[in-house]
Structure 1
Amino acid sequence: MKKSIIKRLFIKLSRFLGYEIIDQNDFSSPTLQKELNEDLSIINKKSIILPLGEVKITKKVNSVMIIFRTNTDVEIWDQNKKRLFEELKIEYSLRALKSLIRSVNFSKTKYPDIKFKTVIVDDKSRKENLDKLKELIDGSGLDIGITPLDCEKYKDTIKQQKNDQTFSNLASLLQSFELGKEHGEDLIFFVEDDYLHFEPMIEEMIASYERIASQVNSDIFMCPADYPYLYMNNEKTNILIGNKRHWRTINQTLCTFMTTKSLLDKYWDNFYNTCLDRNDPFEKYLNEIYKKEFCISPLKSLSLHLTNVNSSYGLSPFIDYKKLWDENES
């Protein structure tokens, strides 16, 4: 009985002082009142990974703005190839949106105090396609709005392109960046409509952002996809521990990534210049940022870029593509 009383007092004292106790004998944490195979981290407070211990969270997340770019007609921009499964583009847009909705709702159950807002920047979808998108939105229970692309606004800003598709893509990207700059708060997730997301994607990105950004004491960029091109050269990388998986440092992304409002403001010229012309590579000015700031991608992938099967910017390795595709049937 005396030992039991001393143990309870020690647990209370440890909790009061902000320490956590691990009891390896019964595989539990008495201070957290959890089994060790449960999620031990506390969002906006501490990240706990066995056996690495605790990271105090200094980079807290209270809001996430998601900017989802859609073009429901163009099969593959700037190419004459077919995507995996060879469906019409609207089918990819619908499944991408459905997977994103599932991921946000999953995250909301874990982090109910974080505010989520989604804006869809739509590039001239036909009414029948817009109605399909709206049907998904209406059943989502989320704060999602559709903003039509205003190409006219950028006719004197973006250089004349070889075709309307290229101009619209640049205009859509610039409008998305401007929305993030004007309305974003903590994290801003720019995402295109040809990515399928695993349900824990948003949760893992938020929790891993808090842990890794707090460790390096700096805001960071995060890409949700593990692209095949990352394995086609002999570049060195650093491996980091996130919330529930490893992450690696990278120096290139496409235009689907998450970052902070402060980094968007800091490197606004890079974001803006990305959209003024068809650069080579397209993300040239974004990649320049990663020479100065941390950019990471997950191992293994949290999202799947549904391009042609032979694209080096497409299918992430070790993913059951068909299963993920079928799970998000619209």
Structure 2
Amino acid sequence: MNEVLRVLEKILKKSGYTIKKHPKYNLLPLKNFQNDPFLKTTYDAFDNKDKLVLADDVSKLNVCLRTCVSKKRAGESYSKLTGVALDQHLFKCIQSLVVSINEAVEHNKKIKLTVFDDRSDKAALENINNILGKAKCGYEVIKTKNAGQGGSLYEHFSFSRDKNSLFYFCEDDYLHTPSAINEMISFYRDIYEEASTHLLIHPQEHELIYSQINYPSYILEGQNRRWRTISHSTHTFFTHSSIVDKYWRYFDNTKYVGNKEKRHLGSEKRTTDKLFNHIPGFSPIPPVAVHLQSKESLPPFFDWKKVWDSF
């Protein structure tokens, strides 16, 4: 530590702060990890000797896709990640989801796709329908009642409450591998049957897990990849409708996402991340889908460009 930092540390120390060298690897101390509530939730689910026999239907999947392909959409007119116009960027992501659904259908999975469209431009909506026309499952397009992210989030979560089905809630800027849907269904069913518990699957890890967030995880060996326990997710995830209905109090405020005055109330931390206090959460390693929003949202060590170029 140089002299300037030593002086600065003395000043900060009076206020209860200290300066530490940032290591190359994020090996921060784990405080009382034996009693970590999220690990305990997972451990108890698998160790429960008096398992309840759940009667929920996990034989079918509803995919809810939120779309908004419009010139009025906030942000750049092109993707810095893929280097193409934003509408083409989103169309390819939607196409990847349809391809993944089709592969799952070919593996005898029962699926229905519902698109919640938030006022996409007319030409864009025609393109979306052309892509959906290649789906090997039933589908419908619903125009959201209210404009904005919060409106579509709230509506597609509400849509699931009275359905007895698996649900995958997804955004239009996620790029899916062909096996994504089939693998998430299979993993969910495996855990449900073995541990008699519902769960939440987020389709990818984030770089932030390693650089800013630090917590221990269980690592499970699945059929085709490993799955690590998680305690955070975006609003794109895979679960069961009964979880949405039972814990609706964690979903209600998603309507505030995008609201300038109340957006903090709709954040994942204040809404759906609270589900991890009740059910186990998992992310696949390597991922089965990638959030192509920004460089910071990409999973580590994954060649998403290879997936992108395959469509």
Whether the TM-score (by the shorter chain) exceeds 0.5 is: yes
Secondary structure of the 1:121 match is strand
CA distance in 1, matches of 2:100, 2:180: 6
The answer on whether the counterparts of 1:219 and 1:263 sit within 8 Å (CA) in structure 2 is yes
1:323 corresponding residue in structure 2: 306
By how many angstroms is 1:100 displaced?
Answer: 0.8
CA distance in 2, matches of 1:263, 1:286: 11
1:140 corresponding residue in structure 2: 135
Q: Does 1:257 align with 2:237?
A: yes
Residue 116 (structure 1) aligned to one of 107, 111, 117: 111
1:282 corresponding residue in structure 2: 267
The answer on whether the counterparts of 1:223 and 1:258 sit within 8 Å (CA) in structure 2 is yes
CA distance in 1, matches of 2:172, 2:203: 14
1:201 corresponding residue in structure 2: 180
Q: Does 1:98 align with 2:83?
A: no
CA distance in 1, matches of 2:310, 2:72: 22
Secondary structure of the 1:207 match is helix
CA distance in 1, matches of 2:194, 2:73: 39
Residue 125 (structure 1) aligned to one of 120, 143, 164: 120
By how many angstroms is 1:132 displaced?
Answer: 0.6
Secondary structure of the 2:300 match is coil
Secondary structure of the 2:106 match is helix
Secondary structure of the 1:290 match is helix
Matched-pair identity in %: 27
- Post-superposition Cα deviations, 1:42-78, rounded to whole Å, max 9, x if no partner, equal xxxxxxxxxxxxxxx9986211000000111369857
CA distance in 1, matches of 2:126, 2:76: 27
Distance 1:289 1:228, change over 3 A: same
By how many angstroms is 1:214 displaced?
Answer: 2.5
Q: Does 1:67 align with 2:52?
A: no
1:214 corresponding residue in structure 2: 193
CA distance in 2, matches of 1:73, 1:121: 14
Q: Residue 118 of structure 1 aligns to which amino acid in structure 2?
A: L
Q: Residue 318 of structure 1 aligns to which amino acid in structure 2?
A: F
The answer on whether the counterparts of 1:174 and 1:272 sit within 8 Å (CA) in structure 2 is yes
2:208 corresponding residue in structure 1: 229
Residue 85 (structure 1) aligned to one of 82, 87, 107: 82
The answer on whether the counterparts of 1:76 and 1:307 sit within 8 Å (CA) in structure 2 is no
The gaps in structure 1 that reach 5 residues or longer are 1-56, 152-166
Calculate the TM-score normalised by the size of structure 1.
Answer: 0.70
Within-5 A mapping of 1:283-298: 283=268, 284-298=270-284
Secondary structure of the 2:251 match is helix
Secondary structure of the 2:279 match is coil
By how many angstroms is 1:280 displaced?
Answer: 6.1
The answer on whether the counterparts of 1:75 and 1:83 sit within 8 Å (CA) in structure 2 is no
Residue 306 (structure 1) aligned to one of 283, 286, 292: 292
Secondary structure of the 2:115 match is strand
Q: Residue 264 of structure 1 aligns to which amino acid in structure 2?
A: V
By how many angstroms is 1:198 displaced?
Answer: 0.5
Moved more, 280-289 or 188-197: 280-289
CA distance in 1, matches of 2:151, 2:204: 24
The answer on whether the counterparts of 2:65 and 2:172 sit within 8 Å (CA) in structure 1 is yes
Number of residues paired by the alignment?
A: 251
Distance 1:244 1:324, change over 3 A: same
Secondary structure of the 2:238 match is strand
Q: Residue 239 of structure 2 aligns to which amino acid in structure 1?
A: T
CA distance in 1, matches of 2:241, 2:155: 15
CA distance in 2, matches of 1:58, 1:245: 28
Distance 1:125 1:204, change over 3 A: same
The gaps in structure 2 that reach 5 residues or longer are 1-53, 257-261
By how many angstroms is 1:231 displaced?
Answer: 1.5
Distance 1:213 1:76, change over 3 A: farther
Q: Residue 185 of structure 1 aligns to which amino acid in structure 2?
A: N
The answer on whether the counterparts of 1:207 and 1:242 sit within 8 Å (CA) in structure 2 is no
